[in-house]
Amino acid sequence: MNVTDPKQGSVIRICPMNKMVWKNEYRAEKVTFAMISIILNALSCPLTIVMNVLVIAAVKTRHRLRSNYNILLACLAGTDLLVGIACQPSFIAGQIYVIKGVSLNEYCQDYKATSFIFVIPVFASLFHLTLLSIERPVVKDCEAHIYIKQGRHPVLTSLLPDNEQFVPNNTHMNGNSNRCMIITGPNMGGKSSYIKQVALIAILAQVGSFVPAEEARVGVLDAVFTRMGGTDNIYKGQSTFMVELQETSEIIAQATPQSLVILDELGRGTSTHDGTAIAYATLHHFISHVSSLTLFVTHYPSLAELDSVFTNQVTNNHMAFMTSEEVQDQQSAKQCAEGGEVEEHQLSVPASVTFLYHLVNGAAARSYGLNVARLAGIPSEILEKAAAKSRELEKLIATRRSTKTGFQEIFSNSAVTDEVIKQLRMSLEKIAPQVNRE
C-alpha cells in the first residue's frame, strides 16, 4: 500500500502483515497508541469517524536519515473496519507489529489493551440508552418467548424529527402458541421496520441493556437469524434469488426452537407461482419442524391459509392503513366475487393511501403497489392501464374460486339442482370460452 508523506510529499510503502519489505525502502514498525487518547477524547463524536483512522508510526531508514512521524491512514473499508474491530480486537493487536517479531507476553498485553479500548464505546452507548424512554426487560432462561408492550425501534425513534412521533407496537410470541406471525400489508407500510424492531429489542435484552418499550419479557435465545433485502454475488455467479435461497437454507439448518427467525418477502426473486410455492413450503417447514419464533413478511395472500392449518400456532397480521377509495374498492371487489361486471370508472388508481404503521390482526387483501408507483412519479396513463389489468386479474381469480366452490358443492351434495349446474357452466365459459356447452 502506498501512502504520501504529509511532511515531505514522498511515497511510503506500508507492508502487509507477515511480509518482508524491500531493502532501502520505508518500513512500518509499530502502531502507536495515540489512538487511545483520540477515542477517549472523542467519545461524544460519531464513532465511525474515530475508527476510520489508523495511526501508524513509520521510520525512514534510507541514506542514514531517520525521522519519526505519524501517518494517518484512512480506512479503505469504510465503516466495515468499525465492525471488524468491534468484533475482533485482535485485528489491531495483530497489526501493531507489522514487521518485527515480538514476544507472546508483549502481544498479549497489546491484545488486552485494545480489548479494553473497544469496550468503552459499548458502555457509552448503553449509558446513552438509559437517557431515553426505556425500561429494563425481564429475561428468563426458559422456553423461547417474546412479549413486548408498546415497543419502538431503537434507531428510528432517535432519528425522527421533533414534530413526528414513532408509532409503537405490541408483540406476543411463545413456543406453545402463536410462535409464528405472518405479516402482510401495503408497500411502505412499515412491515420490515416492525420485524427489525422486534429483533433489535430481543438482542438488546440478551446483552443486558434497557429496551425501548413500556414492558418487555424475553426468553434466552440461542440465535437471531435474518433474511432481508436482496443482493447478488457476481464473483461467484450467483443471482439475487440464489443468494436468498442459500441464506434461507443456512437458517433452516441452524435454527432451533430457541431461535428467533425473521424472513422478509421470501420468494420475490422469481415467478409468482414458484415464489409462492417456495415461501409456503419454507414457512410450513419452520412451523412444523423447526418450531422457532418466526416473523414472516410476505405479499402472497395464499400464505394466510396456514392460519387454519396450524391453529393456535400461526396468526395473520397486517400494518393498518386507510385509502380514500376504500368504499369503492370494497364494492368492486364484491362485484368481482359475485362474477359481476366492473365499470371503467372503478378501474382508477387509489388517490392516496395513508399508512398508520400500527400492527392489527388479520391479513391484508391488497399491497397497493400502484400507490407506490404513483408516488414514484409513474405517468398516469401507465397507472390507468396497470389498474385495469389488476382488476382483470382479480376478477379472474375470483371466478376461479367461485367455480372451485361450486364443484365442491357437487361432490359433497348428491342433490344438485339445475341452477347450480348452470352457474358452473357460466363460470367455466368465463375462464375458458372455448369449453363445449354440450
Contact 310, 178 (CB under 8 A): no
**Cell numbers of 332, please?**
368492486
DSSP string, 8-28: T--EEEPPPTT-PPPTTS-EE
**Cell numbers of 91, please?**
485485528
* pLDDT over 70 (residue 67): no
The DSSP call for residue 79 is T
3-class secondary structure for 124-162?
A: HHHHHHHCCCCECCEEECCCCEEEEEEECCCCHHHHCCC
pLDDT at 365: 79
State the Cα–Cα distance between residues 218 and 136, nearest whole angstrom: 11
120 — pLDDT class (breaks 50, 70, 90): confident
CA 136, 192, 360, 259 torsion-angle sign: negative
Contact 150, 214 (CB under 8 A): yes
pLDDT of 219-253, one tens digit each? Answer: 999 999 999 988 888 888 888 899 999 999 999 99
Mean pLDDT highest for which of 52-61, 120-129, 141-150, 347-356?
141-150
pLDDT at 40: 39
26 — pLDDT class (breaks 50, 70, 90): very low
State the Cα–Cα distance between residues 354 and 369, nearest whole angstrom: 13
Residues ≥6 apart with Cβ < 8 Å to 302:
276, 280
Residue 57 Cα distances to 23, 68, 98, 129, angstroms: 19, 7, 11, 37
State the Cα–Cα distance between residues 313 and 362, nearest whole angstrom: 14
* pLDDT over 60 (residue 87): no
* pLDDT over 90 (residue 146): yes
**Range in 224-228, 348-352, 373-377 the model is least confident about:** 348-352
pLDDT of 181-225, one tens digit each? Answer: 999 988 888 999 999 999 999 999 998 888 999 999 999 999 999
Contact 313, 177 (CB under 8 A): yes
CA 339, 345, 348, 351 torsion-angle sign: negative
**Range in 34-38, 273-277, 367-371 the model is least confident about:** 34-38
Q: At 333, give phi and psi (nearest 5°).
A: -65, -40
State the Cα–Cα distance between residues 262 and 294, nearest whole angstrom: 6
**Cell numbers of 71, please?**
501517518
Q: How many residues comprise the chain?
A: 438
CA 428, 431, 437, 438 torsion-angle sign: negative
The DSSP call for residue 5 is -
191, exposed or middle or buried, with CB in 10 Å at 0-12, 13-18, 19+? buried
Once rounded to an integer, what is the mean pLDDT over residues 298-304?
89
* pLDDT over 90 (residue 56): no
Residue 72 Cα distances to 45, 50, 52, 97, 405, angstroms: 18, 11, 10, 17, 73
Fill in the amino acid letter for 213.
A
**Cell numbers of 336, please?**
368481482
Rounding to the nearest 10 degrees, give the CA dihedral for residues 387, 391, 394, 395: -170
**Cell numbers of 426, please?**
357460466
Contact 114, 93 (CB under 8 A): yes
Fill in the amino acid letter for 18.
N
- The rounded percent of the chain whose pLDDT value lies above 90 is 27
